[in-house]
Structure formats: C-alpha cells, structure tokens
Structure 1
C-alpha cells in the first residue's frame, strides 16, 4: 500500500516556497501522491452542512488562503519528477467542463502523465449560489461533465449533447499523456460510492472514522458489481494510527492519505515531511 500526503493548497500550504519544499521532500521520502482540495468560495456563516465532520462544520477558516488545486499542483509538479499529483477533490459541477478538460490535460502533459483528477459534487449551497450554478441536480451535472471531458480527451474532433453541456465538432488540445486521465470520485455516501463504481477509475474516501468504516464502505462499493481490483482506492482517516496500515492493506486499500498542515517556515518542511515518513512509511 502506498502513502499520500494531503497538505498543499491551504494556509501555509498555499505559499510557493512551502509547496516547493514539501513537494521535493515528499518525493524524496517515498510518498506516492500529493493531494489538494478545492473551494472556490467560502462564507463566514453557512446553513449548509459539511459532510465530513461530526458537527457539520469545516475546520478550514473562511478567511484562509485556498489555492485553485490545478494551479497549485502545477507548481508541485514542476518542483518534482515522479510523485503523482491529485485533486482531492475538485468540485466539478461548479466549473465549465470544457475548460476543466483543457486545464487537466495541460497539467497532465506538463507533469509527464502524473495527474489524477479527483472530483466531487459539492455540498455548499452558498458556493453554488455565488457562482451562479444551480445547486439542484448537481449530481447529474457532475456525471454528464465527466462523460463530456472523457469525450474531449479521446476524440480529435469531439461532439457531445446532454442536458447541461453541448458542443459539436470541436478540438480541445492538448490530449492527456495516456488514453485518458484517471477520474476518481470523492464522497463517503452511498450515492458517492455508486458513482465511483459505475463511472469512476477509483474512490477517495475522506475523513473516515476508522478501519471499520472503511471496511463497510468497501463492502458497499463491492456490492455495486464492480471489481474493486479495477478501482484505485484511497482513504483518509480522521484519526489514523500506524497500526491501521496493515488492516487497510488487507482490505485492498491502495493508498492511505495523511491529512496534515505544513509548517509556516519552508526551511522546516523537509524535517516535517521526514517525520511523517518515518512514522507512516515504516508502518
């Protein structure tokens, strides 16, 4: 099982010097993937419930710096040569899928095929309202956008007709390094797992309570009729312990993602990453 690091894009992790230092150290220490999430908009007061905490509130302060993940990860990719980069997750229905397809392919090409595109449907109604995107039917919009982007990546001249996006005989270049870009679906709900099973190349379970919840979610995922060996499974636990690693590996998890905040001082980043590697990679 591999180890990922979800530490870039927010707060200190949004600073160029910290991104460079963390990315270089993570690659040197043997981490498999650098993850970065997204919110285009944050609000001081929200009536929307955050689905990944017990109290329904996101821990990130509304005033914190939060980079666009594709831009932030492009700097991480430029500082490294082998470690993968992944959005965890990009809120796809908030974006134009043609633009995302081009941006993602551009990052994939510039990184030498190292991008994994993690996508989610979003949870903040206030964010959708600010962007002028309907909150209703965001799941259907996400699924259609995924189909449209894959069409753009595989076809030299692409056409697509759906409820939310339509285009005819267009060229969008560059193409990804491979046949496509892996798309994994975030979310821990039954509906999110169904999307991962039916449409995804993998699943990113975020802030799960522990190994028992991972096992439960994987059982549900397998019950959807998809061979789990065909999917890349990445999980982040709320309170992980090194003893969880062997159990997660036995369940078929491909990557344990450590969620943490880097130090403000980029000079301390190497030591910080090395300490994480000593704790987790030894496990």
Structure 2
C-alpha cells in the first residue's frame, strides 16, 4: 500500500519548494492537495467535520500552481488533487491545467475531483447545487475527450463545445488517473465512469470492509484521503487492498511541518517497505 500526504498549502505553511523534497526524502509516495477558490463571508453550509471552519480553508493556494512548483523540485513524487472542485471550474482550462502538470512532471499527475459541500461557494461560480452531480458527469466525459481526441468535441446539457485542438496531451496514457471523492454516491459515480474512488478515512478498523463494500467485486483503485495515523486502521486498509492512503499534514510553518513529517514517516515506513 502506498502512503502519501494530504495537506492545505497556504501563505502561512511550509513552502512548496521545501515540502516536495521533504516528502521524497522521507519516502512518501504522493502529495494530495485540497481546493477552495474562496470562502463566502456569509455561509449557511455547515462544515462537514463540525465546528468552526479551519483557518487554512480561507488561505489555501491554488493546487495546480503548488503542484507545478513541487514538480520542479522532485523526481518521483506523485502529484494529486484531493479534491479539485471541478463543478466550480471551466472544463477546458482545467483539462489544460492537468495535462500541463502531467507534462511538466513527466506523467506524475493524479486528478481527484468532487462536487464539494459549500453551496455558497458553488453559487458564486454560477453552479446550481441541485445539478452538480450531473454537471460533474459531463465534465469528466468532456475532459477525457479533450485529453484523448484531436480534434475533441462534446455536446451535452451543461457542457457543449464544437471540435477543437487542445494541447498538451497528457504524458500518461490514455490520461492521468481519475479519482472521485466522496461517500457512497461518489463510489457509484466512480463505477459508472470506471475510475478510482477517494473516501475519507474512518477510525474503526473493523468498519473498513463495510466502508469499501460499494467497490467490492470491481478492480477500481481506492485512495483513502486522509486516513488516521493509526497502525490498526492502516493495516485494515492494506488488508482490504486499498491502493493508497494519505496521512494529514496540518498546515504549519516549515520547522513544525518537518517534525510532523518525521513522525508520520516512521509510521509509513512499514508500508513503503
């Protein structure tokens, strides 16, 4: 089982140019970044984890800019989004961003997507929360067409464009791995699209088989993001055949981040071996 790191990189955290090498030096397989374009000042949508929305949500940097910066100072690290809020994005620009990251990193991009939870954030982008799942379905199909076809075209209810030439094409063929983040609805969507699934980690190792049951009988990959740093939980995910788990790196200055990574690396070493 592969072990990566999931974090929010902000203007107050460890810098990308230091984070990437630190992860490779400690044997981590991947870096997955969350995304929020902004946080509306007036918000009714509750934070899914409960309580106040953490500071890093307000200050997170653009994930593709950060991952491109990390790509320039690393050689092996897999660079993923966990997750891109695709329903808030232009599909043509996003296809180019992911393909550009894959090109610059030599085929190390992983594209995690989701529909998100912050309805006010969606609304500011003109996205109707009631149809966000159907929109995501079309966006994924359209992006795959852009990545694999030349010329590419797509005609749907939400996404519609005539034949176009769009480069670069991704290094990874037919395209970078796609993972859909969320619960059972996301698992069902992953099965329909034939892509991977990103569920949140759970704290009870005995509950892991039931959590992963929606993908039982398929060979689709699972990336758990993030998983608690509990050896019993990690053992349960490894036994269940999970491809990858990420461990959460809190948003901290450089010196504190490196100390946390040292501790997490000691735990992750067993699985890397």
Look up the match of 2:121.
127
Deviations 1:262-283 (A, max 9, x none): 531x355444322220123236
Counterpart residue number, 1:215: 209
Aligned CA distance change for structure 1 residues 134 and 279 (closer, same or farther; 3 Å): same
| 1:111 paired to 2:99 | no
Deviates more, 1:193-202 or 1:205-214: 205-214
Partner of 1:156: 150
Query: TM-score, normalised to structure 1's length?
Result: 0.88
1:120-199 mapped onto 2 (5 Å cutoff): 120-178=114-172, 179-188=174-183, 190-199=184-193
Q: Residues 11 and 253 from structure 1, CA distance in 2 versus in 1: closer, same or farther, beyond 3 angstroms? A: farther
**1:202-234, CA deviations, whole angstroms, 9 ceiling, x for partnerless residues?**
111124343344321211222xxx51x3x2211
RMSD of aligned residue pairs (Cα, Å):
2.1
Is 1:260 paired with 2:249? yes
Contact 2:115 2:136 in 1 (8 A): yes
Kindly tell me the number of residue pairs found equivalent between the two proteins: 270
Query: What are the residue-to-residue correspondences of 1:10-25 with 2, within 5 Å?
Result: 10=10, 12-13=12-13, 18-25=15-22
Instruction: Give the Cα–Cα distance (whole angstroms) in 2 for the partners of residues 80 and 62 of structure 1.
Output: 24
8 A Cα contact 1:25 1:269, kept in partner: no
Higher mean C-alpha displacement, 231-240 vs 97-106 = 231-240
Structure 2: stretches of 5+ with no match in the other structure:
none
1:33: which partner in 2?
Answer: 30
Cα distance, 1:44 vs. partner? 4.2
- Structure 1 residues 40 and 200: CA distance shift in structure 2, 3 A: farther
**Structure 1, residues 21-74: CA drift from partner, whole Å, max 9, x if none?**
2210111211111010111121344211334x2x3x564227741111111111
For residues 243-269 of structure 1, what are the alpha-carbon distances to aligned partners after superposition, in whole Å with 9 as ceiling and x for unaligned? 3222211111111210121531x3554
Query: Normalising by structure 2, what TM-score?
Result: 0.91
Alignment correspondent of 1:280: 268
Which residue of structure 2 aligns with residue 232 of structure 1?
221
- Hey, what's the Cα distance between the residues in 2 that align with 1:111 and 1:79? 10
Whole-angstrom CA distance in 2 between matches of 1:130 and 1:160: 25
| Structure 1 residue ranges, 4+ long, deviating more than 6 angstroms after superposition | none
CA 44–200 in structure 1, closer or farther in 2 if over 3 Å, else same: farther
Provide the secondary structure at the position in 1 that maps to 2:129.
Answer: coil
Does residue 244 of structure 1 match 2:230?
no
Are 1:4 and 2:1 an aligned pair? no
By how many angstroms is 1:95 displaced?
0.7
Contact persistence 2:8–2:56 (CA under 8 A): no
Q: Which runs of 5+ in 1 are unaligned?
A: none
Shift in Å, 1:94? 0.7
